[in-house]
Amino acid sequence: MRRMQGSRFAFGPFVLDPDAGTLLRNDDPVAIGHRGLRLLAAFVGRPGEILGKAELMDAAWPGTAVEEGNLTVQIAQLRKLLGPAADGGEWISTVPRVGYRFTRAIEQLGGAKRKPLPLPSKPSIAVLPFVNVSNDPEQESFADGLTEDLITDLSRISGVFVIARNSAFAYKGKPMDVRGIAEDLGVRYLLEGSARRAAGRVRINAQLVDAVSGDHLWTERFDRSLEDIFAVQDEVTGKIVEALLGRLRAPPPRHRPKNLEAYDLCVRARKLMDDTPQAAREAHLMLTRAVSLDPDYAEAYRWLAMNHWMGWVHSGGPTEPGRSAALELARKAVAIDPHDAGSRWILAYLLAYERSFVEADQEFATAIELDPNEADTWAALSDIAVLAGRVEEGLEHICKAFRLNPFPASWYYLTLGQAQYAAGQYEAAVETLRRDETYRTSSRRFLAASLAQLGRLDEAHAEVELFLVGNPNFTIHHWATTEPFRDAATLAHFVDGYRKAGLPE
């Protein structure tokens, strides 16, 4: 539960920092999962109050329907993690048939203020999530899609620095402190607005704010036919660029969907993909439906390809059918819209796993040329560069990705930790991988190797044991032959750490 400028909370020997995603016990880091962290933040934010099960499930799985048993499991794990209080009692009590209550006193500490990010040399902007002002919650995906499209359009304009979607959406539903948000993200300008879709029409209010001076540089209201939505997006982007760069510049042409239902399905599926395997399967059905409604919708093919890739991750490694399907879908997306940087980097990444390195490198270069602000491209390229032995380059790429996306998806931390391990920065890798929001499966193997290289073998063995629970068929040999290594020394370095940690050969 991210609070942009929230406080830290002390209780007993613990200090919880929801912003940093950390829990300390007597100043030592405690490994806590992403859901556990969200639940604990909800509890300590309202100590002594009874929190209903629905409220807690919404805190831990926002926007996702899950069974109540998932909450029961998370609460049990959280109780085990915290252990008994000093008097032998429990931190979290059950209120039968209602919910749970945090029973202990909380001390609210001052927030550990993030160091401000320096402003880029070029005009810098973040597009905040547009507010759905209709009475229909089903229109939420429309407002989110509008926001995402504007981010994509702006990021393709040369001469502008644009914050990535993940970080922009960290502010969804939160009070809009313009100056504070701009400082958090290291940008000067913010675009904010609202959207309403009803009776075949769309109304959009948008304003561009200079967070340094507080001035409104541009504001406008659009009331158009729903069929004109993409033309309106192009117009909004052009006017923002004119305000930032002093001249009217239309964004490069994009391949737009022809079916609005397919567009809505794609936006909704995109939200589900980063969550549970069950949610990923639901996303697959949505995207398959989107493709059937609009067979020339490149973005739907792109996310279908990525969802297959996520399937590789959830299953512990690539399978031949998944690899072939993902690659075919990515090629289809690029063929439909060769100017879409997102489709290009996903194709590049999959090609690297096929060891088609020359073609992969070309696709990465094209993706960056099309959209230098696409943070995911830099993060994916970091992974591939490190495995090619270009470790310093890989570190530079992932740092650039974090600058464009300060509040990223958890796989950025995995990629950074891998690069730090490859560079011999084992202490930094441990710190990074223990901050990984998922802190499970994939990240644990790199964490175990880093701990082993530091001589902390008991901790390394414990991480290996946890890793193997989720990946019982893992072997060093299979991993080494499926990962896209191009450098023997880098491969040997990883294998050495894995062996010291006790991973099976």
pLDDT at 125: 94
Inform me whether the pLDDT recorded for 458 exceeds 80: yes
Amino acid sitting at position 9: F
Dump pLDDT digits (tens) for 66-121: 778 888 888 988 998 898 888 788 899 998 878 898 988 888 776 555 567 888 98
DSSP helix, strand, coil percent of the chain (3-state; round to 5): 55, 15, 30
Dump pLDDT digits (tens) for 18-70: 876 778 888 777 778 778 888 998 898 888 888 888 888 888 887 667 778 88
pLDDT at 18: 80
Inform me whether the pLDDT recorded for 213 exceeds 90: no
Query: In this structure, what are the phi and psi dihedrals at residue 127, rounded to the nearest 5 degrees?
Result: -100, 110
Dump pLDDT digits (tens) for 117-134: 888 989 999 999 999 888
User: Using only C-alpha atoms, what is the Rg of the chain?
Assistant: 23
Inform me whether the pLDDT recorded for 1 exceeds 60: no
pLDDT at 440: 53
Q: Higher confidence at residue 267 or residue 274?
A: 267
Cα(492)–Cα(49) distance, integer angstroms:
54
Q: Provide mean pLDDT across the span 131-143.
A: 82
Compute how many other C-beta atoms are within 10 angstroms of the C-beta atom of residue 107. Answer: 11
Inform me whether the pLDDT recorded for 222 exceeds 80: yes
Confidence of residue 305 (pLDDT cuts 50, 70, 90): very high
Q: Provide mean pLDDT across the span 380-385.
A: 97
Residue 220, strand partner residues: 206
Identify the structural domains of the chain with CATH numbers, from first to last.
8-109 (1.10.10.10), 124-245 (3.40.50.10610), 260-501 (1.25.40.10)
Q: Higher confidence at residue 357 or residue 114?
A: 357
Amino acid sitting at position 45: G
- Identify the weakest region by mean pLDDT among 102-111, 156-165, 249-258, 316-325: 316-325
pLDDT at 436: 46
Inform me whether the pLDDT recorded for 324 exceeds 90: no
pLDDT at 391: 95
Token output for 384: 């591939």
Contact in structure between 373 and 167 (CB atoms under 8 Å):
no
pLDDT at 109: 76
Confidence of residue 503 (pLDDT cuts 50, 70, 90): very high
pLDDT at 311: 63
C-alpha pair distances (Å), 251 with each of 27, 154, 217, 286: 50, 7, 19, 29
Token output for 359: 């073609």
Inform me whether the pLDDT recorded for 315 exceeds 60: no
Mean pLDDT estimate for the chain: 86
- Identify the weakest region by mean pLDDT among 94-98, 206-210, 265-269, 274-278: 274-278
Dump pLDDT digits (tens) for 421-437: 999 999 989 888 886 45
